[in-house]
Chains A and B, each alone.
Chain A
């Protein structure tokens, strides 16, 4: 009973929050709504007995990714309303609906069949984080290491891309250029 209530509450909150993300004109509102949606999604993971995944969702998404977005938004002018030139809104709605429908049918059709067997069944008598550790460090050890290397590469790329000319102020520089042009 409580699972049903929690599921519907979380669903409603998540859908509303994500709708705000895709429809809001203010980037700051979008980001806040996205952070709230991430937290409610971790609620689904706790409902699904994936405790470790829920904690990772909160730490990585709401902690790291959203903080990264917040720091990144300091570089952009986010107080201004986002101006978007949308030519055919109804067509966009129709296209996204149709594409999503086709994707869902294509991926869900084999899933509904009864031929699915558990590849790595849940280990009996252990909690979820322990079971995750057992599978992650035996069957998925190589992808785990590759993911670590990928994160390292992404970190270096981020530092190099964003760190260049960090000492120069963006907004002030533009004003200086304007003043130089004006004085000539």
Chain B
């Protein structure tokens, strides 16, 4: 029998994977992929809580997270395209124009 803990543990594992990606990735595009993993891991947790407590609020939050993720991708990709046109690279280490 699958309980709430199973889903929460899975959500935590996926969140760890996403967090590892955020720490490790130096490419902006792949960094955005890692943030998508984080958002999806949280969505699973919300949906699981929503079912096991019989409350729809979790699903509502998951919907709004999906909306936020979609707008984040639109703006983020636009910014990345502008950056790539200027610099020709997406490496985070190249974004040091403000260093002293």
Please give the residue numbers on chain A whose beta carbons come within 8 Å of chain B beta carbons, in ascending order.
Answer: 3-4, 7, 11, 14-15, 18-19, 21-22, 27, 30-31, 34, 37-38, 41, 44-45, 47-50, 52-53, 56-57, 60-61, 64-65, 68-69, 72-73, 75-76, 82-86, 89, 92-93, 95-97, 99-100, 103-104, 108, 111, 116, 118-122, 131-132, 135-136, 139-140, 143, 147, 150-151, 153-155, 157-162, 164-165, 170, 174
Contact = CB atoms under 8 A, between A and B. Distances in A.
B55 A119 contact: yes
Contact of B55 (A4, A34, A122): A122
Contacts, number: 212
Q: Which 8 A-B pairs have the closest CB atoms?
A: A161-B78, A154-B71, A22-B21, A158-B74, A118-B55, A96-B20, A72-B77, A100-B16
Interface in B12-32: 12-27, 29-30, 32
A48 B48 CA distance: 6
A7 B2 contact: yes
Contacts of B33: 21-22, 30-31, 34, 69
B54 interface: yes
Contacts of A103: 15
A108 B54 CA distance: 18
Given A15-B17, A84-B25, A121-B55, A68 B73 contact: yes
Contacts of A150: 67-68, 71
Q: Is the interface of A mostly helix, strand, loop or mixed?
A: helix
Contacts of A47: 2
B87 to A, nearest CB: 11
Given A21-B33, A85-B93, A104-B12, A151 B67 contact: yes
19 contacts: A7-B6, A11-B10, A15-B13, A18-B37, A21-B34, A22-B30, A27-B29, A38-B40, A48-B50, A50-B59, A56-B66, A64-B70, A72-B81, A75-B81, A96-B19, A100-B19, A122-B56, A132-B60, A161-B79
Of residues B33, B49, B50, which shows the largest number of chain A Cβ atoms within 10 Å of its Cβ?
B33
A76 B63 contact: no
A162 B85 CA distance: 10
B11 to A, nearest CB: 9
B51 A49 contact: yes
